[in-house]
Structures are given as structure tokens and as C-alpha cells.
Amino acid sequence: MNVFNQLSIWLSFQLSIIFLIGIPISLLLWSIKKKNKPVNKLISIYWKTSLLFFISLLLLIGKYNYALLITNISLFLMTISVWFWNDINDELKEYDFSYSLATTTKVWRWSLTFISLNFLIQSLQNFSCLSFINSDACKIWLQPSSNFYFIIKNIFNFFFGANFTLPIAKFLGLFSLFIYILGFIQWSIIKLPKNGRNSCFSQNGRN
């Protein structure tokens, strides 16, 4: 069962690379080429929200105890961010199945929802890891982030000529988390009451 659980977690992270990074990049470039404002706006909002996911990866590298909890929160916010906006939802409904950009966006939204739900279910199976990632039973959650750590370590060494250590990853993750929370609070207090569930994509015209 442990081997199956480890394989399932590894697969979840691999799918995350595709559906959380690869496809959104493709959709962003596609929407720019097609000059499609609603999809472009949706993906732009998604990328702003998804910063918390990359912060959680830094915290996983730094073995911060609540890193897995933050990962799940980030996936929840990312999922909400692609379904939340009434004006974008109404616009996407107007496109028929033959409009491939809108259809791909819709399929991707459902895929993201499924991945987030699956990730949450797996996390609940290792419930203690949500608050104590450093236990022996939670090592399987730290292994997938090792590749990300290797990439950042090389980039950090190339630009700064220094080693990227686990304490540095934890510090950068916590500092970035603090900035993210401040930005989220500002949006919740100022922009959300003003615009509600309107993304305002149509302010610059409609395509």
C-alpha cells in the first residue's frame, strides 16, 4: 500500500506540472494570438493566484511543517479562480464546441478541479502530514519536490554564486507567503467589494 501511495503522489505531482503549468502557458499564448480577452484574463488571474502553489513548493523543499496544508490551500484557490468570474463564465458559454480555445479552456478547468480534489483526498489519507511534514510517514510528500530543488539550486548558484540550501528555501517561502497574504488581504478588502465576481475583462473592449 505504501508503494501504491508513493506512486500515486508522484503521479499527482507529474500531472500537476502538465495541468498547472504546461497547459496554462499554452492557453495564455493561444489567447494572446487569438486576441481573446476573456480567456486571457482568466489565465492571467490564474497565474497570479497560482503563485501560492510555487511558494508551497519552496516550503516543501525547506521542510516547513505546514507546507502540504499550504499546497492544498493553493490548489483550492487556483480552482476557485477559474470558476469565480460571472462575466468570463457567461462569455465562455456563448462559444460553441467548434471554438477550440474555449473548449480547451473548459476541459482544462474541469481537469484542474479533479486534480485539486484528488490531491486533497491523498493529503487527507496522510492527515498528520498537513501539520507535521517532517515525520517519517511524510517523506513521500517531500520526494517530488527534490527535482524542483535541483533546478532552483542550479539557477541560484548560476546567478548568485552561492548554494541554495534548505533554510534559504524555507526563508524565501515564508517571506513570499507573507507578501502573498498581504496582497490577498488587499484584494479582499478593496477590489472584491468593488467589482464582486466581475473580472472586468470587457473594460478594454470585447473580442
Question: What pTM, to 2 d.p., does this model score?
Answer: 0.87
Q: What is the pLDDT of residues 118-159, one digit of tens each?
A: 889 888 888 899 999 888 888 888 876 666 666 666 666 666
Q: Quick check: 105 and 42 in contact, CB under 8 A?
A: yes
Instruction: Tell me the H-state helices in the chain.
Output: 2-16, 23-34, 37-61, 67-83, 86-94, 100-125, 139-142, 145-160, 166-186, 192-195
Amino acid letter at 137?
A
CA distance 168 to 188: 30
Residue 206: pLDDT band with limits 50, 70, 90: very low
pLDDT bucket at 6, cuts 50 / 70 / 90? low
